[in-house]
A and B are shown apart, each in its own frame.
Chain A
């Protein structure tokens, strides 16, 4: 009798063990899900227009609270990270940006985890943080 050692969602989601690339993978998934939730909410929000101006205005007021501002700032951050990292992934997944395959020498440094890739991840995180700060600045009129 054998027992399957499949790690499941817990293992998939654990971002801590395999470097920044795994963190980016995890953030990409989370932000993707977050944006999906936002998209559904956004459709619901804009559909209130059908009930007239008053309904639309009361819906907008929801975003003028502290929770609403935090939520919108998160949406901005998710959008920017997902876009930046998404562009990196589109380029990498088409096979670009790794250099050429070559005979590996010890200690092996994988080309797929090269500095260019890492830098793109850090830049995406940095841009997301900046955009969130800018968004909060606009929302709080700073």
Chain B
């Protein structure tokens, strides 16, 4: 359940940013989560519900931008969508892949009050 640690870190970042702006309420939070980031969404949702209680995020509207995985083949330079870390290059079959997208785990923006 590392998802709980992740949610705690998001709460932490939110509180610091809010304090900087003297905000007492967060209306919206926008997150970026890559499909190769290792986050299981059901576990994330569960952890979220538990952890945001009586925090600034309790009533915030949450938007998640899911970022699909993308790999770059180091053999043939093909750029291709990646669902799993173990996928070979669909063009040449090699496994030397550099992950370009999908590892994101970011707090993008907040709407504070």
A-B interaction: no
Using a CB–CB distance below 8 Å, which chain A residues touch chain B? none
Using a CB–CB distance below 8 Å, which chain B residues touch chain A? none
